[in-house]
Amino acid sequence: MSELTHINQSGEANMVDVSAKADTVREARAEAYIDMAPETLQLIVSGDHHKGDVFASARIAGIQAAKKTWDLIPLCHPLLLSKVEVQLEALPETSQVRIESICKLAGKTGVEMEALTAASVAALTIYDMCKAVQKDMVIGQVRLLEKKGGKSGHFEVKS
């Protein structure tokens, strides 16, 4: 098992020094799901929600969140992201919304946390916009799907 990189020999949390690492192209994909009643999903899909376009708001929130990850997670590095994409898909058969985020950069550290944060905050935004019509929505299965670049190489979830 690998050692925890954010903990020093005294057991104290520290930000990892990446200054000696070479810049490489790095990319990460993450997903999140939000379960809801069929009526809530229909309200989103039809565009009849009184707060406006739920998917557009969630997409922008996810992009903004990826850019602010370093401000939310204490030991994350501030990154110069070159790409953030957030895709939302209504799944009527399971009464869910699937959110997939992609983050990319050329830099010294990975973008996994940014992709996970983008997907999570997009899901939270959907919850926030729809809580007036349904309070028991469930956000779940937030996970890293794929990571490319860097010393640890390529990782992809086996479906």
* Per-residue tokens: 5: 């990189």
132-141 contacts at long range (C-beta below 8 A, 24 or more positions apart)? 133/39, 133/40, 133/43, 134/36, 134/37, 134/39, 134/40, 137/34, 137/35, 137/36, 137/40, 138/34, 138/35, 138/36, 139/32, 139/33, 139/34, 140/32, 140/33, 140/34, 140/35, 141/31, 141/32, 141/33
Is 43 within any annotated ligand binding site? no
Task: Identify whether 128 is a catalytic site residue.
Answer: yes
Q: Which of 17, 23, 48, 128 is catalytic?
A: 128
Instruction: Decide: 112 and 28 in contact? Cβ < 8 Å.
Output: yes
According to DSSP, the residues that pair with 85 across neighbouring strands are 102
146 is in an annotated binding site: no
Distance CA 43, CA 55 (A): 11
Is 76 annotated among the ligand-binding residues?
yes
- What are the residue numbers of the active site? 128
Per the annotation, where are the binding residues for substrate? 75-77, 113-114
